[in-house]
Amino acid sequence: MAVLLMETPVSEIAPRRIARESQLGLMWRRFRQHRLALISLWVVVFFYAVAILAEFLSPTDPSAYNARYTYAPPQGIHFFDRNEDGSWYFGPFVYGYKTEIDPVALRRTFVIDEEVRLPVRFFAESAPYRLAGLIPMSTRFIGLENPRDPFYILGADRLGRDLLSRLIHGTRISLSIGLAGVTLSLFFGIVIGGFAGFYGGRFDGVVMRVVEFIRSMPTIPLWLGLAAALPRDWSALQTYFAITIILSLIGWTELARVVRGRFLSLRTEDFVTAAQLDGASDWRIVTRHMVPSFTSHIIAAATLAIPGMILAETALSFLGLGLQAPIVSWGTLLQDAQNIRTLATAPWLLMPGLCVIVVILALNFLGDGLRDAADPHGR
Amino acid sequence: MNKTQCFKAAGAVAIVAMLTAAGPALGAGQSPMLDALVQSGEIPPLEERLPANPLVLDAESIGQYGGTWRMGMNGGGDNGLIAKTVAYEGLVRFDREWQTVIPNLAESWEANAEATEYTFKLREGVKWSDGAPFTSADIAFTVEMYQDPEYAASSWIDNINNPATVEVIDDLTFKFKFNRPNGMLMDEMASVNGIHITSLQKAYCSQFHPSYNENAAADAEAAGFSSWALHLQDRCAWGWETIRFANPDLPTLYAWVLDQPLTANASRVTWKRNPYYWKVDSEGNQLPYIDRLDMRVSQGGVEELTLAALNGEIDFQERHIATNVNKPLFFDGQEQGGYHLGAVIPSASNTLVFQLNFSHDDPVKRELFQNRDFRIGISHAIDREEIVDLVFTGQGEPYQVAPRPQSPFYDEELAKQYTEFNPELAIEHLEAAGLTEMNGDGVRLMSDGQPVRITVDVISALRPEWIDILEIMQLQLAAVGVEIELNNIDRTLFYEKRPSNDYDAQVWAGDGGLEVVQEPRYYFPFSDESVWAYRWAQWFNGTRPEIAEEPADWAQEQMELYRQIRSSSDPDERADLMRQILAITKEQFPVIGVSLMPDSYSIIRNNLRNAPETMFNAWLFPTPAPMDPVTWYFE
Amino acid sequence: MVGFIVRRFIAMLLTLLAVSIVAFAIIQLPPGDFLTSYIAQLASTGDQVDPRVIENLRAQYGLGEPFYVQYWKWITGVVQGNFGHSFEWKRPVWELIWGRIGNSILLEGLAVIVMWFVALPIGIYAAVRKYSLGDYLSTILGFIGLAVPNFLFALILMYLAYTWFGTTLGGLFSPEFEMARWSLPRVWDFLSHAWAPVLVLATAGTAELIRILRANLLDEMKKPYVVTARAKGLPEWKVILKYPVRLALNPLISTIGWLLPALVSGSVIVSVVMNLPTAGPMLLRSLTTQDMYLAGAIILLLSVLTVIGTLISDILLALIDPRIRYGAR
Amino acid sequence: MPQIPMAAEPILAIKNMSITFTSPDEADVEAVRQVDLTLTAGKTLALVGESGCGKSVTARAILRLLDKSALLPSGEILFNHGQGTVDIARLKPDSLAMRSIRGAEISMIFQEPMTSLSPVHTIGDQIDEVIVLHEGVSPKKARERTVHLLDQVGISGARERANAYPFELSGGLRQRAMIAMALACTPKLLIADEPTTALDVTTQAQILDLLRQLQDDFGMAMLFITHDLGVVAEIADEVAVMYLGDVVEQGDVYEVFRSPQHPYTQALMNSVPHLRRKADRQRLSPIKGTVPSPKDRPAGCAFTSRCPYVFEPCAGTRPAPTEVGAGHLARCHLLARTKMEALA
């Protein structure tokens, strides 16, 4: 048996990295491994960005109607075309329409007119507006050279309003209602669940009974009753906030449960005992020691709560008890679309439904990913 | 008995004589569905069931018996459909053109010159659906019930300003008496409101009232009701109230009797023929031809009903489903569904009536809203062509609130004044109304320096197009410096805001396009529905004296003219008076209209015969019932 | 066990009391009452109502009394089985709603059964074949089921049935079976109508069930007792079904409790679209007409349904899980 | 290569077995490297090592209870079931052949009697199941056997206890029930995976006693996995010491304990306290450093990173087993060098 004499020194075995990483940092590292969740994160970010930049991104004003283009089908956006002389045209553009009115059947018929090519301009000039009601601007992301030309990438509704623009503005309302509802739920959930979990005992018992009670109520009748009770002369904004509060009345219970559970298990952890022995106040223990240790869980739980809020908003609008026209939300847009006529002749008006599905999917995947990342060893 | 009556009676006898003479060859048939019942002795033979002089209906063609007429109700509270198809059986009725009042259960009538006394003669031998004879006693009982405050009904019979009293002369003759002239009684009685008076059978309904049955209270309790009044209301509901159709035991005079009643749980309401129905075709065959009705009850959404109609599961209907939006759908579906579309002319004159509150609490707004120039300015600022094009796909035309072209009261000037879209003219009028200053946002300022901001109450649930029209108007009016804000609210609140005077403006459809005399709410402050002058209308009606306000002189003049209409029994005189009212309306221009309500359509199965290819659609003239569905049949 | 049920039962009664107060408060919340909306309704058809009639009705209906008096009258009646009168239908509420509630229970019960039948095998498959194509597919389908709004799904289903098969989905019975007694053909007729709403109702719930089952099962499959079972020589399917599945079902059974409120809520919307005579559309209408005893009774009964559902799932859980039955944990 | 001496006909012979864990994201990890073990009827082989050294993985590999991610790329597991020999390493984990061995021929008991028994089935049910499965008797007969078995493992009131759920029993009783279940079909080999670790000292002793006694009664071979040298001394006939996937030393228990040859075994022995007067006590000498992850294991001797005697070949070349006594083998370059020096 030959003995190999090695010149090289014993290779140092790298000690395991024990770098101190914040919990959020750890969570982020684990989260990045979830490909679907990561994609979903971008989808959600995209939609929220759209919500924030609604005025800038929408090609037209969402309430700008045009008699000539009621129920105009989507133009789509094209990039290549062959010119008459056979050369190629590059760049984004849409085709015009040829329209006819059928007075017997009461409708306009549209044919995409491939003769008319309407180039799409980026950062097109438009009438001045205020972005998010604050920043004065006078350009929009895309637009046509001549603002009077039809520009309906996703088609038009029954008044010839641009569906894309309405969709973009609806995104703002629907997503913010979800976010606002969750924020409110989160506040109640953390405060109530936190105290229940921290002090335990009788207070905890009472809170948990209340939570169980609320969760045993069927939500729609509850919402219906409350929504029917809203003063009808409230302005759109008031209704909007009222609906948000109604939605979070039930939403907080789930978050309170999560928070309470974490508190209960954290209460016995050594670092909390240590802080208590050090004489830290309860408030300090909760805010400085306990809350940061489960921020990640709260983020995950909150993410998973948003879809429910969005779906609830659409359902209430559908029943005519939530937001109402002229407010543009995904719910009111779907309410417009929920008839046989739309299904049969203008299916593109169901686009808001697709948005709902995509966002709900993304939020669910994102929430799942966050939860897994926050708590890799199961729940 | 006057001459006409004699003649009519003689004519009826002659018809009966002819029928008996001609025998079976001339028909005198009944539905095969009834043959077995006659044979088993459950019902008497046809001759004994029919009145001495049945009402003869001339239809395009003689039909055949059988079949089921399928239609759809929207929700459990849709008693309107029944009122418009089955329950339109008053003492008198309108002809198919909605022009004259013709006999129905009463074969003749006459009024005194002051229009305070009306004498009616009932058709002899008419029987309730349980076989009992229909007599003057039933009428007297009905009047008594309506005037009992415990019986929560409301009608011309117990009109607090001019209630009816009844005097029974004999079994078939009775007299209505009024303290004040009631010149429009016959029009009221021929309308859908005329069916109240024939809705209660004394023999059946009296058992629930303590005046006739001392055990009524105990019976009510045994049946689970807390008072006899509730029991009576439940068993014998009035007129065309929803729950009336929940009691299959209630005897009626309708062509069809309840089979599956309209209960809260009903998913369909069905009817079968009334063996005692008292109308025949020109060959003496007992009507109706159609044996059964089947009304499917949708649970609050009409989409399922729309699909059913497309699928050929509806035989005749315009209600609920024949919307503007659905037209292309139904047009395309004709072949697959085996139906075609009939024409329907609405009674309403206008798609949207913009009513400003003349009695606004804010004196500045009150003055502004009462200013004719302001209203003319607004009217000129509306691009009606665009609205017609956009919302109604080109159907209809710019129109004010005025009688429809089909009406004898049609006045082109009234209909068309100030409908031209002319922003310059609009601004001129607005400035004439004192709105000369503007604020930084381009909104005109009122005399108190506040911008003109009008909140418009609207119920989009009722007519979705209202929101569309208003959204367009919002932009058009903004261009001339008038700001309107949409307030989409629910119906209850919409009504509650009126007595509390808590509104700037409300919108509604333009009723009174055909029923000009009966429904003049936009022509002068006539009723609670004259939202533009709600408090003036209270002054006119005296219903809520605590909030009544003395109207402007011109309105008082109109009111006086209308009082004259009420006290006149001469139709020509009434029409003349109405024209005078309309002339003042034209001068004063109280409300702003948008466009002529476009024609609608009905869905008619291809195998349904005698159904009208063209008809009016109104509530007072409750179509299709005046088009005699009893003569329709399936081929 | 008996003590356990008694304890749960008392808790349930307390919950019901609270529910009744909330239900009554909700129906009292909107401004005005039935009469104001009734007058509005009449007025819009051109009728004027005599104020005396209104006063009479108000007295007959007991409107205008303070909240606690109305509540006390109502709840004492409810305890005796008298749910009050519907203003709109002028009938005892109980008579109106039992059929509707029955239909609701029937549909939701069917939906629960379907959900379990579909979710069980798929959930087990997804957990056992973790990260397989089937797992991903079922996860994605499940999430989509969760994300599609019920009413949209129902509407599209109805439209497709019309365009593809020329049939109208809707209602629960054909006309000839509407009022018939239960018989085999009627059951068949019912099923041929009910599949569509049940499908719509079950979709979202199934997705949720699959997710929970899969997660639970994955947790359970890591437990040592599964290895023990394998070490016994049991075939794999038997190992999975007898041990981890059995344990993964426990938390799932407790989900019946909250599944029911969700189903009840879903059925309101589906019933409106698909024209089903369930409690949902009646509730919607009674809320808008402010027919308060009717609305109150429906809200109360739907809540009772869910509370009973929770009770049932608690008892079931105690039955199948000895740890709970014997109070150990 | 020196042959492992055969004392008697072996029940199970593991030859040159390696176990590799695969993962889609990371490089494969060889958790067990070329292990040779032999088990004989009536004898107990103790497998000793720190946590994560691969001893449990080795045990589970015998019953093919490892996850799909675990591969057996080389080696044989020869099992003699009386009618010949079968190579378990070639069987499919869920095949009938494998399943008929599990629980019947080779059975296993686990460390955590609480979690290793299903909490929702009674003890009796879980034992009956094995008997019914492998012997096809009626459930009633199976229950008779179960009661007898429970009695045999020292559970008093066996008939009633059979209807008890695991959470109603103490830790010791649960482990006895586990043992009863494992012995239900009189297996030829019993694998005990740290069966006493979770128990208190008294119970531990009772269970060890019981196992010894049952081995006498049933005559089965036993593979006893533990990290406790005291337990090894009590129960084992032979011992194999594992470190990071390698069997570094194996042989007769007295031989190995008396003169441990591998530096790791030596260190292990030194880390065990001996009972002495306080004044005479020496400081325990724990092994320096920590166990590296299998990923970071050098190609050569696994102990390289912690060995006090490390020299050139250690990191790069894996030492071959050197026979240092009768049936006493150790893998260390030091031994090879002394041998070579001796030869030289």
Provide the shortest C-alpha distance from residue B41 to chain A (in Å): 50
Confidence of residue B21 (pLDDT cuts 50, 70, 90): very low
Any C CB within 8 A of B300 CB: yes
pLDDT at D342: 58
Among the ranges A308-312, B269-273, B568-572, C84-88, which has the highest mean pLDDT value?
B269-273
Contact B386, B473 (CB under 8 A): no
pLDDT given for residue B429 in this prediction = 95
Q: Are residues D296 and D232 in the same domain?
A: no
Average pLDDT of chain A to the nearest whole number: 77
Lowest mean pLDDT among A197-201, C85-89, D28-32: A197-201
Instruction: Give the neighbours of chain C: at least 3 Cβ pairs within 8 Å.
Output: A, B, D
* Shared domain check, A103 and A46: no
pLDDT in tens, D186-210: 889 999 988 887 778 888 888 888 8
User: Chain D neighbours among A 60-79 (CB < 8 Å)?
Assistant: none
Same domain, A150 and A259: no
Question: Which structural domain range is residue D298 located in?
Answer: 262-274+284-343
Is residue B291 domain-shared with residue B379, that is, in the same domain? no
- Residue ending a domain, among A161, A187, A217, is A161
Chain segment D22-35, per-residue pLDDT in tens: 877 677 888 888 88
The whole-number average pLDDT for the span B443-470 is 87
Quick one: CA dihedral A370, A375, A377, A379, positive or negative? negative
- Are B371 and B482 contained in the same domain? yes
Q: Which of C144, C269, C287 sits opposite A228 (nearest CB)?
A: C287
Write the CB contacts of D135 (distance below 8 Å, at least 6 apart in sequence): D142, D185
- Partner-chain residue, chosen from D60, D116, D165, that has the shortest CB–CB distance to C322: D165
Q: B17 pLDDT exceeds 60?
A: no
Determine, for residues C168 and B155 on separate chains, whether the beta-carbon distance falls below 8 Å.
no
Beta bridge partners of A131: A135
| CB–CB contacts below 8 A, C to D | 77
How do strand B453-458 and strand B483-488 relate by DSSP bridges? parallel
Q: How many CB atoms lie within 10 A of CB B560?
A: 12
In this structure, the answer to whether residues A318 and A352 fall within a common structural domain is: yes
- Mean pLDDT of the C107-120 span: 86
Q: State pLDDT tens for residues A33-78.
A: 778 888 989 999 999 999 988 888 888 888 887 777 888 888 888 8
Specify the CATH number for the domain of residue B266. 3.40.190.10
**Per-residue pLDDT tens for B474-529?**
989 999 999 998 887 766 677 778 888 889 999 998 888 888 988 899 999 988 88
Q: What is the pTM of this model?
A: 0.77
Query: Is the same domain home to B391 and B511?
Result: yes
Q: Are C112 and C256 in contact (CB under 8 A)?
A: yes
Establish if B226 belongs to a structural domain: no
Query: What pLDDT is stored for residue A6 in this prediction?
Result: 32
| Same domain assignment for residues B486 and B514 | yes
Mean pLDDT within D165-173: 86
Please report residues of C whose CB lies closer than 8 A to that of A365: 143
- DSSP, collapsed to helix, strand or coil, labels residue B623 as coil
Q: How confident is the model at residue A379 (pLDDT cuts 50, 70, 90)?
A: very low
- Looking at the fold, whether A70 and A200 belong to one and the same domain comes out as no
Q: Provide the CATH number for the domain around residue C317.
A: 1.10.3720.10
The answer, for B235 touching chain A at a CB cutoff of 8 Å, is no
Segment B223-236 mean pLDDT: 86
Nearest by CB: D313 against A5, A13, A16: A5
Residues B141 and B266 in one domain: yes
Mind listing the pLDDT tens digit for each residue in A284-322? 777 777 776 677 667 777 777 788 888 888 887 777 777
Closest Cα in chain B, distance from residue C106 (Å): 15
Section C7-31 average pLDDT: 79
Under the banding of pLDDT at 50, 70 and 90, the label for residue A20 is very low
Please choose, from the candidates D334, D331, D343, D288, the residue with its C-alpha nearest in 3D space to the C-alpha of residue D36.
D331
| % residues pLDDT > 70 (chain A) | 84
Predicted confidence at residue C31, as pLDDT, reads 66
Nearest residue of chain C to residue D187 (CA atoms): C232
Residue B456: which CATH number? 3.10.105.10
| Mode of pairing for the β-strands spanning D238-243 and D221-226 | unpaired
The tens digit of pLDDT for each residue in B92-112 reads: 999 998 888 999 999 999 998
Distances (CA, A) of D73 to A37, D12, D102: 35, 19, 22
Q: Are residues A192 and A151 in the same domain?
A: no
A vs C, Cβ pairs < 8 A, gives 129
Instruction: For B570-596, write each residue's pLDDT tens digit.
Output: 888 999 999 999 999 999 999 999 999
Q: Does D29 share its domain with D157?
A: yes
Q: Which residues of D66-97 are buried (b: 16+ CB within 10 A; e: fewer)?
A: beeebebeebbbbbbbeeeebebbebebeeee
3 state SS of D31: strand
- Inspect the interface and report whether the beta carbons of C285 and B265 lie closer than 8 Å: no
**Same structural domain, D48 and D190:** yes
Please name the residue that has the structure tokens 């609830």: A312
**Cβ contact (<8 Å) for D65 and C233?**
no
- pLDDT at residue B9 above 50? no
Instruction: Tell me the average pLDDT across B16-35.
Output: 59
Is residue B218's pLDDT more than 60? yes
Residue of D nearest to C320 (CA): D120
Residue A229: pLDDT over 80: no
Question: Which chains would you list as touching B if contact means 3+ CB atom pairs under 8 Å?
Answer: A, C
Q: Which domain holds residue B402?
A: 353-593
Residue A331 placed within a domain? yes
Specify whether B167 is located in the same domain as B134: yes
Q: A115 in a domain, yes or no?
A: yes
Chain segment B410-429, per-residue pLDDT in tens: 999 999 999 999 999 999 99
B532 has pLDDT over 50: yes
User: C47 falls in which pLDDT band (50, 70, 90)?
Assistant: low
Mean pLDDT of A246-257: 78
Task: Please state the rounded mean pLDDT for residues D294-307.
Answer: 83
DSSP string, D271-296: TS-----GGG-----PPSS-PPPGGG
Chain C contact present for D177, CB below 8 A: no
Q: Chain C within 8 Å of A213 (Cβ-Cβ)?
A: yes
**Closest CA–CA distance from residue A69 to any residue of chain B (Å):** 9
State mean pLDDT over A193-204: 77
Are residues A4 and D313, on separate chains, in Cβ contact within 8 Å? yes
Which chain B residues contact residue A340 at CB under 8 A? 303, 306-307, 310, 326, 329
Q: Indicate whether B123 pLDDT > 90.
A: yes
Which has the minimum average pLDDT: B88-102, B124-138, C20-34, D142-156?
A: C20-34
Task: Pick the last residue of a domain from A114, A133, A161.
Answer: A161
Q: Which residue is associated with the tokens 């399917």? A: C237
Mark whether A119 and A180 lie in a shared domain. Answer: no
Residue D6 lies in a domain: no
Q: Do chains A and B touch (3 or more CB pairs under 8 A)?
A: yes
Which of B251, B272, B275, B282 shows the shortest CA–CA distance to B46? Answer: B275
ipTM over 0.90: no
C302 interfacial to chain A (CB closer than 8 Å):
yes
A119, containing H or E segment: strand A107-131
Residues A171, A130 share a domain = no
- Contacts with B389 from chain A: Cβ below 8 Å: 67-68
**Considering the domain boundaries, does residue A177 fall inside one?**
yes
Q: What φ, ψ does residue B205 adopt, rounded to 5°?
A: -80, -25
Write out the residue range of the structural domain in which residue A135 sits: 58-161
B7 located within any domain: no
Q: Is the pLDDT of residue C277 over 60?
A: yes
Smallest Cβ–Cβ distance between C43 and the set B242, B307, B529 belongs to B529
**Would C47 be classed as within a structural domain?**
no
**Contact list, A6 vs chain D (CB under 8 Å):** 312-313, 315-316
**Mutant choice from B382, B453, B460, B468 vs A, greatest count of A C-beta within 10 A:** B468
Q: Which carries the bigger pLDDT value, residue B598 or residue A124?
A: B598
Burial class (CB in 10 A: 0-12, 13-18, 19+), B257: buried
For residues C235 and C241, is the Cβ–Cβ distance under 8 A? no
User: Which residues of chain B make contact with A333, given a CB cutoff of 8 A?
Assistant: none
Domains of chain C: total? 1
Question: Residue A180: inside a domain, yes or no?
Answer: yes
Tell me the pairing of strands D321-325 and D328-331. antiparallel
CB count in 10 Å sphere of residue B607: 12
The CATH number for D101's domain is 3.40.50.300
In a domain, D243, yes or no: no
Q: Are residues B154 and B107 both part of a single domain?
A: yes
Q: Is the pLDDT of residue C154 over 70?
A: yes
Q: Is B395 on the interface with A (CB under 8 A)?
A: yes
Q: Tell me if there are at least 3 CB pairs under 8 Å linking chains C and D.
A: yes
Q: Which residue of A has its CA nearest to B392?
A: A106
Residue A20 lies in a domain: no
Residue C25 pLDDT class (50, 70, 90 cuts)? confident
Q: Phi and psi at residue A6, in whole multiples of 5°?
A: -100, 130
Q: Within this chain, do residues A182 and A329 fall inside the same structural domain, yes or no?
A: yes
Q: What's the Cα-to-Cα distance from C35 to each of A232, B111, B328, B499, rounded to whole Å? A: 18, 37, 40, 15
- Find which of B249-253, B296-300, D226-230 is predicted with most confidence, using mean pLDDT: B249-253
Instruction: Give the integer Cα–Cα distance in Å for B194 and B187.
Output: 9
User: pLDDT confidence of C12, banded at 50, 70, 90?
Assistant: confident
- Quote the pLDDT of residue B586: 95
Q: Are residues A211 and A355 in the same domain?
A: yes
Q: What is the pLDDT of residue A27?
A: 72
Whether B74 has its CB under 8 Å from any CB of chain C: the answer is: no
Terminal CA-CA length for chain A: 55
For residues B464 and B327, state if they share a domain: no
Look at residues D335, D334, D328, D331 and name the one whose alpha carbon lies nearest to residue D320. D331
- Cβ separation B460–A338 shorter than 8 A: no
Assess whether B393 and B524 both reside in one domain. yes
**Helices of type H across B398-463:** 412-416, 423-432
What does the pLDDT average to over B164-182? 93
Residue D4 forms part of a structural domain = no
Residue with the two structure tokens 């109402």: A324
Q: What is the DSSP string of A288-304?
A: IIIHHHTHHHHHHHHHH
Q: Is residue D252 in some structural domain?
A: no
Sheet of B350-356, strand order: B483-488, B453-458, B505-510, B350-356, B592-593
Give ∠ CA D306-D310-D314 in degrees, rounded to 5: 100
Residue A26 lies in a domain: no
- Do D330 and D268 belong to one domain? yes
The label of the residue with tokens 């009643």 reads B261
Give the total number of structural domains in chain A.
2
Q: Are D305 and A4 an interchain contact pair (Cβ–Cβ within 8 Å)?
A: no
Radius of gyration of chain A from its Cα atoms, rounded to whole angstroms: 27
* Distance, CA of D123 to CA of D114 (rounded, Å): 11
Q: Cβ distance B515 to B347 under 8 Å?
A: yes
Distance CA(A161)–CA(B392), nearest Å, equals 15
φ/ψ of D248, rounded to 5, equals -85, -25
Position D115, amino acid: T
User: Which residue type does B564 have?
Assistant: Q
| pLDDT for position D302 | 85
Q: Residue C138 sits in which domain range?
A: 93-325
Asked whether residue C311 is domain-assigned, the answer is yes
Q: D60 at the C interface (CB within 8 A)? A: yes
Has residue D340 got a pLDDT over 70?
no
Residues in Cβ contact with B163 at an 8 Å cutoff, skipping those fewer than 6 apart: B147, B157, B178, B179
Q: Between B and C, how many CB-CB pairs are < 8 A? A: 163
Query: D167 — contact with chain C (CB < 8 Å)?
Result: yes
Domain count, chain B: 2
**Total number of domains in chain D:** 2
B290 close to B629: Cβ distance less than 8 angstroms: yes
Residues B205-210 have a mean pLDDT of 94
Minimum CA–CA partner of B309 in chain C: C168
Spatial separation of the C-alpha atoms in residues A305 and D205, rounded to whole Å: 54
Q: What is the rounded (10 degree) CA torsion for D260, D265, D269, D270?
A: 110
Give the rounded percent of residues in chain B with a pLDDT score beyond 70. Answer: 95
Closest CA to B54 of B20, B80, B83: B20
- What percent of chain C is modeled with pLDDT above 70? 89
- Of A110-124, B131-145, B453-467, C22-36, which gets the smallest average pLDDT? C22-36
The domain boundary residue, chosen from A129, A161, A193: A161
The pLDDT of residue B5: 40
Q: Give yes or no for a cis peptide into B624 (omega within 30° of 0).
A: yes
Are residues C147 and A361, on separate chains, in Cβ contact within 8 Å? yes
Residue A85 and residue B18: Cα distance in Å, rounded? 87
Which of A368, A375, A360, A355 has its CA nearest to residue A166? Answer: A355
How does residue C148 score in pLDDT terms, banded at 50, 70 and 90? confident
CA distance C144 to chain D (A): 28
- Residue B437 pLDDT greater than 70, yes or no: yes
Q: Per-residue pLDDT tens for D195-251?
A: 887 778 888 888 888 888 888 888 889 999 988 888 888 889 999 999 888 888 999
Q: How far apart are CA A225 and CA A236, in angstroms?
A: 19
* Pairwise CB contact (< 8 Å): C302 & A218: yes
Whether residue B372 is predicted with pLDDT greater than 70 in this model: the reply is: yes
Position A257 scores a pLDDT of: 77
Q: Inform me whether the pLDDT recorded for C48 exceeds 60.
A: no
d(CA B608, CA B612): 10
For residue B318, give the DSSP letter.
-
Q: Which of B503-507, B608-612, C279-283, D74-78 has the lowest mean pLDDT?
A: C279-283
What's the pLDDT score for residue C42?
63
